[in-house]
Amino acid sequence: MPESRPTSLATAAAPADSATSAASATSAGGADAGAPEILLELVDGQGVTIGTAEKLWAHQQPGHLHRAFSVFLFDKQGRLLLQRRALGKYHSPGVWSNTCCGHPYPDEPPFVAAARRVAEELGAAPALLCAAGTVRYDLPDEASGLIEREWNHLFVGLMTDELRPDPDEVDSTSFVTAEELKQLQTEKPFSVWFNTVFEAALPGIREIAGHDW
């Protein structure tokens, strides 16, 4: 299901001109008129929260460093659950990516946010979910013109429930082996962040799914 927590206009909690910029960027057409705005946490270079911003505004050039999470779930055979993002999403529609990714709400622990979004997007709960470190990156997405400037909390785990994906979020899913993932990446487009978060999560992935990865 889509993110539906009630929110208010984005404001950055540092200088006043940052808050003004956030508001003007949003009202100038960054978010759909009348649509509920979703806030995320802005962070400094050490991952410490410094304010909040509207989600789309934070991804518009030049971008603003913010908190995010990425989840990698495996089945009992050690296969990775991938999702193809729904075609209607404004950011990276129709590309393959990791099991789930997103942004904690302000003051929401990343672990809680990760479990919440897995349930919202895939209609199932992880049987196991473990923290696997963090990674910071700045990755422009040429297709959308947006940028990923994120302090990303990584999680790995197991999925044993039957999937019931929300079609507004997920076009399709697939469990793949390491070799099947390599083949799929030669055939289909993946999100700009996938390789970065995958490589950063590999130590945790191997603890969960074995050294075939």
d(CA 106, CA 13): 12
Residue 83's contacts (CB-CB under 8 Å, 6 or more residues apart) are: 96, 97, 98, 99, 100, 121, 122, 165, 170, 171, 172, 173
Catalytic residue among 37, 41, 54, 150: 150
d(CA 100, CA 111): 12
**101 counts as catalytic:** yes
**130 counts as catalytic:** no
Catalytic residue among 37, 101, 121, 148: 101
- Are the CB atoms for 57 and 143 separated by under 8 Å? no
Q: What angle do CA 67, 71, 72 make, to 5 degrees?
A: 150
Closest to 138 in 3D by CA, of 89, 68, 88, 189: 68
Output Rg (C-alpha) for the chain, integer angstroms: 17
Q: Which residue numbers are catalytic?
A: 101, 150
